[in-house]
């Protein structure tokens, strides 16, 4: 690739995994510019990079772009995104899945001068070595062993985190109950705020429970409806019922006659 080549607004600069690598990898970058504004990724201080290999980490990018200026933060995403992933509050129960395979990166500089210097990195630049003795990158079997060991939690730390979470949950539930209890007290004008719990708290109605209750209510109302209110309606319904019974009786007689004719054993 020529030094001045660009592809859809992206520039490129080469990197190598280690000094012994015989091949180089190309990173494509440009200034981050989107309609959706985000304070964590200011457009005038953020560099957008694609084709980032899986073994690249935040320390690599901070070391690479520190020659351009002070780097405040680095973000990795599976796909381009204007926002940022929420911070992880727990080391055992993560909210966001781990990024697998190639990814994209956002490098945020302290000022615009760092971004402008970074946009000129591809000019007369030699491949940057990512894995060095000072900053080693684990890969292959070593990486898999480390990931496996990290999956085995420290029981004491895990129990401590669970206890802390439950304490916060209980405190919040207690404060919520006290607030609802205070709301149900009479105010200066004698009004009482009715909450979902009411004076006699019951179960929380889900959609399925609500449908079941409404169905039973409909059946109860239908039984109370006045049917055949007039006398002639009662007489007509009785006559129809008698006609249906006679018709059914005649049909049953025919069926019995057919069965007697079709039977093979005839004792008389």
Q: Is residue 133 part of a domain?
A: yes
Please say whether the dihedral angle defined by the alpha carbons of residues 33, 37, 41 and 43, taken in this order, is positive or negative.
Answer: positive
Q: Are 107 and 42 in contact (CB under 8 A)?
A: no
Judge if 43 and 134 occupy the same domain: yes
**Residue that has been written with the tokens 């209110």 in this structure:** 229
The closest of 66, 65, 22, 28 to 48, measured between CA atoms, is 28
Residue spans of alpha helices (H) in 41-125:
58-65, 112-118
Q: Are 65 and 10 in contact (CB under 8 A)?
A: no
- pLDDT in the model for residue 194: 65
Q: Are 59 and 135 in contact (CB under 8 A)?
A: yes
228: pLDDT strictly greater than 60: no
- pLDDT in the model for residue 87: 72
* pLDDT, average across residues 112-119: 88
Each residue's pLDDT tens digit, 13-33: 888 888 888 888 888 988 888
Judge if 21 and 140 occupy the same domain: yes
Q: What's the structural domain count of the chain? A: 2
- pLDDT in the model for residue 189: 65
Residue scoring higher pLDDT (66 or 89): 66
Q: What is the DSSP string of 2-24?
A: -TT--BTTBEEEEEESSTT-SS-
Domain, as residue range, for 241:
228-260
Residue 199 confidence class, pLDDT cut points 50, 70, 90: low
CATH of the domain at 147: 3.30.70.330
CA distance 119 to 125: 12
Residue 4 confidence class, pLDDT cut points 50, 70, 90: very low
Of 128, 151, 174, the one marking the end of a domain is: 151
* pLDDT, average across residues 56-78: 88
198: pLDDT strictly greater than 60: no
pTM: 0.56
């Amino acid at each position: 690739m020529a030094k001045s080549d660009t592809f859809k607004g992206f520039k490129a600069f080469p990197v190598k995994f280690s000094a012994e690598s015989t091949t180089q990898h190309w990173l494509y970058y440009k200034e981050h510019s989107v309609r959706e504004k985000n304070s964590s990724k200011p457009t005038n201080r953020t560099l957008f990079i694609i084709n980032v290999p899986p073994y690249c980490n935040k320390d690599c990018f901070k070391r690479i772009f520190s020659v351009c200026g002070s780097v405040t933060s680095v973000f990795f995403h599976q796909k381009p995104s204007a926002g940022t992933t929420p911070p992880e509050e727990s080391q055992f129960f993560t909210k966001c899945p781990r990024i697998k395979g190639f990814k994209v990166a956002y490098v945020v500089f302290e000022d615009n001068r760092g971004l402008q210097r970074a946009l000129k990195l591809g000019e007369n630049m030699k491949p940057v070595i990512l894995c060095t003795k000072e900053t080693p990158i684990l890969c292959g079997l070593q990486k898999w062993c480390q990931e496996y060991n990290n999956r085995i939690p420290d029981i004491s730390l895990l129990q401590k985190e669970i206890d802390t979470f439950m304490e916060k949950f209980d405190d919040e539930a207690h404060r919520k109950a006290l607030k609802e209890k205070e709301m149900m007290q009479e105010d200066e004008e004698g009004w009482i705020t009715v909450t979902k719990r009411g004076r006699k708290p019951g179960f929380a109605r889900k959609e399925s429970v609500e449908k079941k209750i409404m169905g039973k209510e409909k059946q109860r109302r239908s039984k109370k409806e006045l049917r055949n209110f007039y006398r002639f309606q009662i007489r007509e319904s009785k006559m129809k019922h008698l006609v249906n019974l006679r018709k059914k009786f005649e049909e049953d007689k025919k069926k019995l006659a057919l069965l007697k004719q079709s039977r093979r054993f005839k004792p008389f």
